[in-house]
Structure 1
Amino acid sequence: MGKTRTRLPGVNLRDVAATDTDAVMRLLADVNPEDPHAFEGVRPNLSLPQEGPLSHYRSLMVVAESNEGKTLGVLLAGAPLWLFGHPSIDMPLAHLLAERTATVTAVAVDPKQRGRGIGAALVQHSVRRFTRAGYGLLTLNCFPELENYYRGLGFTVMDAWNMSLGPLNVVGHRWGDTRVAARLLDRYTTFIDVPGLTSPVVSGILPNTRMARGAYFDGEQFRV
């Protein structure tokens, strides 16, 4: 994908190319001084060829750069890996869900460039790209100090990710140190409040997976 202009003076977005690898890795290390090698595992992905439906098949890797070509920020997103290890989700179903749900794994902005709206521009760009690619839900892990920030970008912040796989079949995932921020991307996918659960249920992500009307959780199973 070519450059996408933003409303920010002198800031453009484009898909990551192999030549961006060193700049992106330096930026990811700079914004994670407590663990500069935390994202070392993504290095091989940055050299993958660009192909649809996103930037690199089912992954989205985008850089924000200045008119002079300096890397100002980066966003990395792709399939939620926890789907492939969940005991209630077999491998074929995990692959189907990975074509409808995505998660942002990193948003990093050069510390000297923060406060300009670059991070928001990257997130909003990812919302548009995943929507156009036919996804129904975009999520990210959210620390408490950023909850209002992501709410301002249209995300709902929840304690856990609960997802309906049928009228009374819900799978969930929870992170110990963060909450999950989720953004609906199409008219088929909705949030349903279910009595007995503290977080809403994502309903309709796949055909025939809407939560039953009047369903509630009694502490052990879902009932109507």
Structure 2
Amino acid sequence: MEITIRKGGAEDVPAILALLDSAVVWLNGKEITDQWGTRPWSGSEKSVRRVEEIVAEGTPWIAEIDGVPAGTLTLTPHPAPYVAPADEPEVYVHILATDEKFHGRGVGAALLAHAVEETRRQGLSLLRVDCFAGSEGRLVAYYESQGFTRTESFTVGDDAWPGQVLEQRV
């Protein structure tokens, strides 16, 4: 099994939404409903619009296994609106997701390693990401296992969705 990573574009938004929908199914199967809810991203006009905006603002990357989209992330020069920008130029990871069929095969790690390479290629030294901090901090621990360190915590929305910003110096 070889993971290949290709540069994506606006034409990949349907594939990115399918990956996000599959990730929701996987999360819900683990009884994690607070991270991304229980509804498919593709069924929410607001979520579809947000994915389209992120892809338009940055560079999407698609990980494939045997030509099948297995995971995705999009890199932008700035964080989401609910996170303060860094005091220096940065690369920011958005919408990292793995198809439920490919969980446990290193797809997320390969995409994050690619993000590190892209950060270096751009001549920058700061790579940041934010993630869901609930569910006993499992996702935070995952990013830490990939070389990131915690910076600030935050909450979003009326339901006080718990988040964590992490960074990696490259």
TM above 0.5: yes
Q: Partner residue of 2:154?
A: 175
Aligned to 1:74: 72
CA gap of 1:18–1:60, structure 2 versus 1, over 3 A, is: closer
Alignment of 1:26 with 2:18, yes or no, is yes
Q: How does 1:1-224 map to 2 (within 5 A)?
A: 9-32=1-24, 34-35=38-39, 36=41, 37=44, 39-40=47-48, 41-43=50-52, 46=55, 59-67=58-66, 69-78=67-76, 79-82=78-81, 97=88, 100-142=89-131, 143=133, 144-158=137-151, 160=152, 174-176=153-155, 177-185=162-170
- Report the Cα offset of residue 96 of structure 1: 8.4
Partner secondary structure for residue 14 of structure 1: strand
- Indicate the SS of the match to 2:24: coil
Unmatched 5+ residue regions in structure 1? 1-8, 49-57, 87-93, 161-173, 186-224
- C-alpha distance 95-10 of structure 1, shift in aligned 2 (>3 A): closer
Flag as ranges the 4+ runs of structure 1 deviating above 6 A. none
Quick check: which has more Rg, 1 or 2? 1
The equivalent of 1:52 in structure 2 is none
Distance 1:105 1:44 in 2: 11
What amino acid sits opposite 2:117 in the alignment?
Answer: R
- In the TM superposition, residue 73 of structure 1 has moved relative to its aligned partner by 0.6
Equivalent AA in structure 1 for residue 4 of structure 2: N
Q: Cα RMSD (Å) of the superposition?
A: 2.7
Contact 2:54 2:74 in 1 (8 A): no
Normalising by structure 2, report the TM-score: 0.71
Counterpart Cα distance in 2 of 1:95 and 1:109: 27
% identical aligned pairs: 27
Relative contact order higher in (CA < 8 Å, ≥ 6 apart): 2
Q: How many aligned positions are there? A: 142
Letter in 2 for 1:116: R
TM-score between the two structures when normalised by the length of structure 1: 0.55
List gaps (5 residues or longer) in structure 2. 26-37, 156-161
**How far, CA to CA, are the matches of 1:18 and 1:150 in structure 2?**
27
Structure 1 residues 175 and 152 mapped into 2: Cα distance closer, same or farther (>3 Å)? Answer: same
Structure 1 residues 96 and 72: alpha-carbon distance in aligned structure 2, compared to 1, 3 A threshold: same
The CA distance in 1 between the partners of 2:58 and 2:140, in whole Å, is: 24
Q: Distance in 2 between matches of 1:139 and 1:45?
A: 15
Q: Give SS of 1:105's match.
A: strand
